[in-house]
Structure 1
Amino acid sequence: MVTVGLLATLHAAPGKEEEVASFLAGALSLAEGEPGTVAWFCFRIDETTFGLFDAFGDEAALQAHLNGDIAGSLMGRAGELLAKSPEIRHVQMLAAKLPG
């Protein structure tokens, strides 16, 4: 069961669009290594705008994700890759359909 999630919007710096896309796609293996991350999606909204959606079973798993490798790597390269700080919103999950 999932109870909480994160929705993040990222705006690539000019000329960094494909590097952001590659960075995000490459983070899949890190997400797969997070046992508390129930679902993880990265997507492209338009040429320069990207998104991430993550779902977690509880607040502790969400916090572990925020303190983990994906967030650390992204924030470490944000000044280089992004036009502005990521817009991150915590969401309360009301319902979900997951594989399994």
Structure 2
Amino acid sequence: MDRFGILAILEAKPGKEQKVASFLKSARPLVLQEVGTSTWFAFQTGPTSFGIFDTFADEDGRDAHLTGEVAKALFANAEELFAEKPQINMADLLATK
């Protein structure tokens, strides 16, 4: 069972919504290369609201993801794409299916 997660909340700058969506879609191949990342979801919840949720079996996998290529690209593009700094929340998973 995966025991660790990350929830990232992203708010696109006005007019950058399509670029954020494209950026998230383009990150998938990078995540597929991460052996420690069990699941990865990029999603949109509103016109300018986006997020990422990932799960990991252990803290090593989570730490590797936090220092990996997706995280680097996210923060390298943050000023251009996002209205505010991405909110990165660590999660301890209590139950999964």
Alignment of 1:17-32 (within 5 A): 17-32=17-32
CA shift, 1:88, in A, is 1.1
CA shift, 1:95, in A, is 1.7
> Within 1, Cα distance between the matches of 2:74 and 2:86?
9
> Within 2, Cα distance between the matches of 1:86 and 1:74?
8
List gaps (5 residues or longer) in structure 1. none
CA shift, 1:14, in A, is 1.2
The residue that corresponds to 1:6 in the other structure is: 6
Let me know the Cα RMSD of the aligned residues.
0.6
Count of residues paired in the alignment: 97
One-letter code aligned to 1:59: E
- State TM-score, norm by structure 2: 0.97
List gaps (5 residues or longer) in structure 2. none
The residue that corresponds to 2:16 in the other structure is: 16
The residue that corresponds to 2:51 in the other structure is: 51
> Within 2, Cα distance between the matches of 1:20 and 1:72?
15
Percent same amino acid at aligned positions? 47
- State TM-score, norm by structure 1: 0.94
